[in-house]
Amino acid sequence: MLHNASQQRLVSHSSSRPLPCRHSLTELWQRYAFANDAGPYLLVPQAVLQPENEVEIQQIFAASQRERVPVTFRAGGTSLSGQSVTDGWLVDIGRYWRNIQPIDGGARVRVQGGAIGGLVNAKLRPFGRKLGPDPSSIGSAMMGGILSNNSSGMCCGVANNAYHTVESIRFILPDGSVWDTALEHEADRFEKEQSGLASELRALRHAVLTNSDLHDKIRRKYLQKNTVGYSLNALVDYERPLDILSHLLIGGEGTLAFISEAVLRTLPDHPEKATALAFFADAHAACGIIPDLIDVQCDAVEFMDRASLESIRNLDGVPDGLSDRLRDHQQLMGLLFEFQAPDADALSDKLERFTSQCAPNMRALSSVQFTQNKKEQANLWKLRKGMYPAVAAVRGRGEAAILEDVTFPLERLGEAIESLQELFAKHQYSNGIIFGHARDGNLHFVISQAMNGQKDIDQYSRFIDEMVDLVVHRFDGALKAEHGTGRNMAPFVETEWGTEAVEIMRRLKRAVDPHGLLNPDVILSSKPTIHLDHIKDLPVVEDVVDKCIECGACEPRCPSRDFTLSPRQRIVLRRARARMIAAGQIELAKQLDRDYEFAGKATCATDGLCALDCPVAINTGDLIKQLRAESKTSVEREVAKSVAKNFGIAEGLASSAIATGAATSFFLGDDLLTSLTSWIAYVLPGFPQWHAGISQDWDPAYRSLLSDAETAEWIYMPTCMSRMFGGTIAPLVQVAGRANAKIHIPSGMQGLCCGQAFASKGFMEPALAKQAEWVDAMWEWSDRGERPVVLDLGSCTTFLKTGMIDLDPVRKERLQRLRILDSVEFAEAMLPHLRIRKISDPIAIHSVCSNQKSGLDGSMLAVANACSDQVIQPHEGRCCGMGGDRGFEIPGLILSAGANVGPNMEQAGCSVGYTNARSCAISLSSSSGKPWHSLMHLLEECTREDD
């Protein structure tokens, strides 16, 4: 059954009844935005509830029982088996459950379910520790999902997964009772207050212990990774009912309880690594060496079949000779493996053992070369992680990339790989690829599949049936190793585990959730074809986003994700709209269009940070720019052209307005001025609204700081933002003076603009005209590219370094020859020539989006570290929400994006921040309530001569 059924159901649902949660999203666009996770299913929730605390979870459970509405929890929504979608209430815990608290010097960590795994590791890094579970989605997956899916990855194996590293859990049962296994006497209280459930858990344990076949099967199966069905090993490993239940929640996929908080033991994060990529003539040669690698304690061993190597052959950084090997070896296989150690000596011990015990047995095509170069290592892992996206990127338009996750006995891995390849050929999945965690016998395979009708679903169904048969009956493997059962493998749990085991699972579910309201049809389902229901098609929408696999990797950095939509949701809604139109639901599509104007278009900062984490490099900001451009009326275009033409006058007026504002703020105060400018902006959309930060660094006096044009070595071109809002010009010139750098600010720059301000609003024609004008002026002022040009707004620097596609060839060539530097690069270049006195207080820095995109983070940090020993980055790699000037129009965007900045600064005892874009400094001052200045201010302060 395709997605349309859930759409029909959506129309008939009433959202008028009161919902059991203060923050409830019930609008059409909000429900559709949350209808997809990273898996192949689509279900539109009746409402999205965003509880803030345990009381609200209890209220949700009570209302769900009362009204018999199913409840599904959603953390990062990166699941691949359909376990975080629902047509009941979707409870989004990614919004308010983000606490992370390292304890005992990082040996343990307390986390809430909405904490992103990557941020947990970032907080553990200063202690040299990391989480055990290491899914490759850790940058966007959250702890609630990592625990509930019992996720794992390349290094953690079975020993360090969530099941084995969790120390205590706090959880809420569907009856509303709250339990915390860290508390003394809690197990006794559980026995007393949950006597019925406790005795059923004992009975289930007894049933397993007295059934030797089942007992042995459980022991055997959990030697390898397995996430099919419930974690039955809990019934064998633990005796007390509370311990059993709390471990059943790991891998329980939100079908038993809500996990409110957990404490996990952490692992050392070894700094020393040696990595190698070896090639083999076939699967047997590659797999034959895996046991030896395990014996010499290799920390990660990744397998790549010929098709996966093919998929990355054209990516940057591919090792030399891959193409030749692909040509010469039809069954080529690769093994990427890594040794890790706490110090150099320990690493060389490991490598010696490899050389003496393992290398002689290795039938690789050439001798193994290790690299300890961090950049090369990162590149090799990037290639490995790029396999799923690489296939996703070459799939046909509208096709889904389906990622499966199976385990085979290690000793039969080579044979299993060949059998899977035969299955691909039989079912005509010509671009199916196989890769995975060879050490664990865990293979992932990706196929691309159209889902445009019954014929496609039948093809997929036949393939899945045969794949299940192959894994279970021929190899006695596991149907899911890491990704959870979901609805994808629910019909096959019995095939793998047998009737008795599944009856134990059913009894467990009935005892904990008698009405079956927690994530129904996930893990267990009475419907034999549930894996084929609600499969989503991927309609073709706009070219720039059609490759999206809905994985969610782009969400954490997006400044608008807590305010309106994330990048993934912006794309998901375009696809929802296309489906509505195809289904003749024109009124619904129109409604969605109306909502998208603000939620999708107006509140995107178009900073493009989403592209940094996207495995297929999608910049959702480009989609938004395109949509904005398409919706411009001819009158708006004419006005934009005229503003571009008279930009110098507009700039002069704005400068005066701001100067007046700075003076007015002195008399009226910031609050009154903010209200006043908000009112003007209501009448004149686009009019910059006043922010407390504007008056801090406003300094119109830069003109008195000009240097000599003839002898200057550097041309400094203050951007229009600086010219209007001040903040950077004076300190930059002062620092340049102290470093004896001869710098010149040309006169006649009023009205010059790189074009970005127009392009971001979708006015491409005036943007192009402004860029052309800028290039002409700069070509002359820089002596035809002889003198470097310094800019002071990162986004303008990046926009110019990239250049507009439609710029004419002559100017394009000139632009390439111009040596354009951002102020942060200039500041770094000045460091050796300056006498710097470090300040003793902690300082905050924010690396603007363009720094992150063009790799200038390091320069920013170098300057900050030169000025203070205590540098914090309170914004956690996100955009501040200003997006050039978007934040002026929509202040809510910067307040939402910067909500954590003030508290994080507070926690670090930090009272001031620095960044390298004036507009971002204004935005961060507004959202944090603390002063933010240009990075040049910091450098100027630290290089002042003693009075």
Ligand X SMILES: Cc1cc2nc3c(=O)[nH]c(=O)nc-3n(C[C@H](O)[C@H](O)[C@H](O)COP(=O)(O)OP(=O)(O)OC[C@H]3O[C@@H](n4cnc5c(N)ncnc54)[C@H](O)[C@@H]3O)c2cc1C
CA-based Rg of the chain, rounded to a whole angstrom? 29
- When the beta carbons of 150 and 919 are compared against ligand X, the nearer one is 150
> Per CB under 6 A, does 33 bind ligand X?
no
Q: Which is nearer to ligand SF4, 102 or 117 (CB)?
A: 117
79 binds, among ligand SF4, ligand X, none (CB under 5 to 8 A by kind): ligand X
Phi, psi torsion values for 666, nearest 5 degrees: -60, -40
Q: Which is nearer to ligand X, 310 or 613 (CB)?
A: 613
Q: What is the 3-state secondary structure (H, E, C) of 593-606?
A: HHHHHHHHHHCCCC
Q: What's the rounded Cα separation, in Å, for the pair 36 and 45?
A: 10
Among 33, 37, 559, 901, binds ligand X (CB under 6 A): 37
| Contacted entry of ligand SF4, ligand X, none for residue 136, CB cut-off 5 to 8 Å set by kind | ligand X
In three-state secondary structure terms, 43 is coil
Site map (CB under 6 A) of ligand X, residues 245-264, x = contact: --------xx---xx-----
Cα–Cα distances (Å) from 188 to 45, 662, 840, in that order, read 38, 66, 52
CA torsion, ordered 510, 511, 515, 519, to nearest 10 deg: -70
Q: Which does 621 bind (CB under 5 to 8 A by kind): ligand X, ligand SF4, none?
A: ligand SF4
Q: Which of 59, 121, 137, 311 binds ligand X (CB under 6 A)?
A: 137
Q: Is 77 in the site for ligand X (CB under 6 A)?
A: yes
**Distance between CA atoms of 568 and 620, rounded to whole angstroms?**
8
Work out which of 482, 595, 773, 828 binds ligand X, going by CB under 6 A: 482
Output the CA torsion 383→385→389→394 (10° steps): 30
CB of 552 to ligand X, least distance (A): 6
Of 169, 511, 554, 863, which lies in the binding site for ligand SF4, with binding defined by CB under 6 A? 554
Interface residue with ligand SF4, options 558, 821, 864, 880 (CB under 6 A): 558
Q: Which range, of 336-344, 438-446, 617-625, 754-762, touches ligand SF4 by CB under 6 A?
A: 617-625
Task: Answer yes or no whether residue 152 interacts with ligand X by CB under 6 A.
Answer: yes
**Residue 604 binds: one of ligand SF4, ligand X, none (C-beta under 5 to 8 A by kind):** ligand SF4
Residue with the CB atom nearest ligand X in the bound state: 145
Identified binder of ligand X from the candidate list 58, 149, 275, 308, rule CB under 6 A: 149
Q: Is 756 in the site for ligand X (CB under 6 A)?
A: no
Q: Is 79 helix (H, G, I), strand (E, B) or coil?
A: coil
For residue 175, the one-letter residue type is: D
- Rounded to an integer, what distance in angstroms lies between the CA atom of residue 436 and that of residue 829? 44
Specify the stretch interacting with ligand X by CB under 6 A; choose among 142-150, 262-270, 656-664, 935-943: 142-150
* H-helix or E-strand spanning residue 882: none
Q: Quick check: 621 binds ligand X (CB under 6 A)?
A: no
Using CB under 6 A, which of the segments 250-258, 437-445, 457-465, 546-554 binds ligand SF4?
A: 546-554
Binding status of residue 84 toward ligand X by CB under 6 A: yes
- In the complex, what is the shortest distance from the CB of residue 577 to ligand SF4, in angstroms, rounded to a whole number? 16
Which range touches ligand X (CB under 6 A), out of 3-11, 60-68, 480-488, 619-627?
480-488
Return the residue of 332, 524, 618, 759 that touches ligand SF4, per CB under 6 A. 618
**Phi (first) and psi of residue 314, to 5 degrees:** -100, 5
**Distance from CA of residue 826 to its chain's centroid?**
31
d(CA 210, CA 704): 90
446 binds ligand SF4 (CB under 6 A): no
| Residue 80 touches which of ligand SF4, ligand X, none (Cβ within 5-8 Å per kind) | ligand X
Coil, helix or strand at residue 853: helix
614 interacts with, out of ligand X, ligand SF4, none, CB within 5 to 8 A per kind: ligand SF4
The owner of tokens 């194996």 is 157
Of 205, 251, 217, the closest CA to residue 231 belongs to 251
Site for ligand X in 342-401 (CB under 6 A): 388
Q: Give how far the C-alpha of residue 939 lies from the chain's centroid of Cα atoms, to the nearest Å.
A: 33
How many CB atoms within 10 Å of residue 526? 11
SS3 readout for 632-700 = CCHHHHHHHHHHHHCHHHHHHHHHHHHHHHHHHHHHHCHHHHHHHHHHHHHHCCCCCCCCHHHHCCCCH
38 touching ligand X, by CB under 6 A? yes
Number of other residues whose CB lies within 10 A of the CB of residue 805: 8
Whether the Cβ atoms of residue 325 and residue 437 lie closer than 8 Å to each other: no
Q: Does 627 bind ligand SF4 (CB under 6 A)?
A: no
Residue 113: CB minimum distance to ligand X, A: 3
520 binds ligand SF4 (CB under 6 A): no
The answer to whether residues 654 and 680 touch, using CB atoms and an 8 Å cutoff, is no
3-state secondary structure 306-334: HHHHHHHCCCCCCCCCHHHHHHHCCCCEE
Nearer to ligand SF4, 169 or 551 (CB): 551
Q: Does 519 bind ligand X (CB under 6 A)?
A: yes
Number of other residues whose CB lies within 10 A of the CB of residue 51: 24
Choose the one of ligand SF4, ligand X, none that binds residue 35, judging by a C-beta under 5 to 8 angstroms depending on kind: none
In the complex with ligand SF4, the residue whose CB is nearer, 383 or 610, is 610
- Does the protein bind ligand SF4 through residue 551 (CB under 6 A)? yes
How far apart are alpha carbons 18 and 944 in whole angstroms? 61
First to last CA, the chain: 78
Question: Measured from the CB atom, is 92 or 822 closer to ligand X?
Answer: 92
Chain residues in the site for ligand SF4 (CB under 6 A): 548-554, 557-560, 567-568, 570-571, 604-610, 614-616, 618, 620-621, 624, 879
Chain residues in the site for ligand X (CB under 6 A): 37-38, 72-80, 83-84, 93, 113, 135-137, 141-142, 144-146, 148-149, 151-153, 253-254, 258-259, 388, 482-484, 519, 551
